[in-house]
Amino acid sequence: MERAPIEFDVTKGSGSVRVGGRFEAEVKGDRSPNGNPSMLVDTVLSPVLGSPGYPGKPTRFHLPAGEHGYDFPARSAIQTEFHYATA
- The pLDDT value recorded for residue 16 is 93
Model pLDDT, residue 30: 94
Q: State the average pLDDT over residues 46-52.
A: 73
pLDDT at 34: 94
pLDDT at 68: 62
More confident residue, 74 or 35: 35
Q: DSSP secondary structure string, 37-61?
A: BP-B-SSTT-SSTTS-BEEEEEEEE
Beta-strand pair 54-65/6-11: unpaired
9-23, 47-61, 73-87: least confidently modelled range = 73-87
What's the whole-number average pLDDT of the chain? Answer: 81
* pLDDT tens digits along 3-37: 889 898 989 889 999 988 888 889 999 999 999 99
Domain ranges of the chain: 6-79
